[in-house]
Amino acid sequence: MNIQWYPGHMTKAKRAMKEDVKLVDLVIELVDARAPLASRNPDIDSLAAGKGRVILLNKADLASEKANAVWITYFESQGFQVMKIDARAKATLKQLNALIQEACKEKIERDRRRGILNRPVRAMVVGIPNVGKSTFINKLANRKATVTGNKPGVTKAQQIIRVAKDFELFDTPGVLWPKFEDEHIARNIALLGSIKQDILPLDDLFVYVMTYLTKYYPDLLKERYGLEIDLDDSDWLLKAFDHIAQKRKIKLLRGETDYDRVIQLVFSEIYDGSIGKVTWEDYTCVKD
Ligand code: G4P
């Protein structure tokens, strides 16, 4: 799957982040709970080396509850402080604070030994585009819009928000890009809805989605479309198209099922979450 982002932006954003990261104690990484590995960029581990680390599974409201729990355990086993969130909801600052204290306990202890008390932890938020960084920062800062980009004449000090008495945040998030070269990653990112549909191979994705949902979320297909798929039936795909079209009263196109409209319908319901809570990254893949 070939998805073209902008390599120029990527390099620039990475350079800016490298500089910003020097000024913080803690890196708060947002990942999409529906595809927590695909929505990371592994470069973050070297960029954030030596810093406190928190991973927030954002958009947890759109992901499977069971999968959320498994992914939390997975990231905890990798040594991260982890929490699932819905960045649009009222910030769970108290819970977040406990994670921050834990992630930065060495720094806090070091400060204490040097006689520095109550120096706030300074953090930056990072993640791939559309993962919810601005929403999260705005909620924490209790305001409506984020100042984006580095404005000339605005110093770093002016871009730092005091969120709590012991917690400061850069108001500009660090942006990293997923690894689109990897086919599985590109596919899972495509299912999160932030890539323009016209550059996606929607027919192939549709087959994948139906197969995946049949395997892992059959109840959801039944509930949403009254659909039960038998993958051993060689006609299953055509039958699924016809079934969804009939169920949703999609008009025939020259006497035949309008396949494109069925695909559009299913993808729009995946993207807005009305299809139900789905985690696209098969969490069994991280068991070994
Ligand atoms: P970014 O800064 O990382 O690029 O992401 P941003 O905050 O702009 O969020 C991207 C979209 O994701 C926004 O929707 C936002 O509302 C939505 N979003 C963020 N966090 C969550 C979450 O936890 N759950 C759900 N369900 N959605 C979330 P949008 O449609 O692009 O804009 P808007 O009109 O909703 O603001």
What one-character-per-residue DSSP string does 63-76 give?
S-HHHHHHHHHHHH
Q: Is the CB of 87 under 6 A from ligand 1?
A: yes
Residue nearest to atom 6 of ligand 1 (CA): 132
Provide the pLDDT for residue 149: 46
Mutate to test the pocket of ligand 1, among 130, 131, 139, 140 (most ligand atoms within 8 A of CB): 130
Provide the pLDDT for residue 3: 57
Global pTM value = 0.90
CA distance 222 to 158: 53
Q: Is the CB of 59 under 6 A from ligand 1?
A: yes
According to DSSP, the residues that pair with 26 across neighbouring strands are 52, 123
Q: Supply the mean pLDDT for the chain.
A: 88
CA distance 76 to 74: 5
CA distance 273 to 80: 28
CA distance 166 to 229: 54
pLDDT, tens only, 141-197:
887 665 544 444 455 555 889 988 889 999 889 988 888 778 888 899 999 987 777
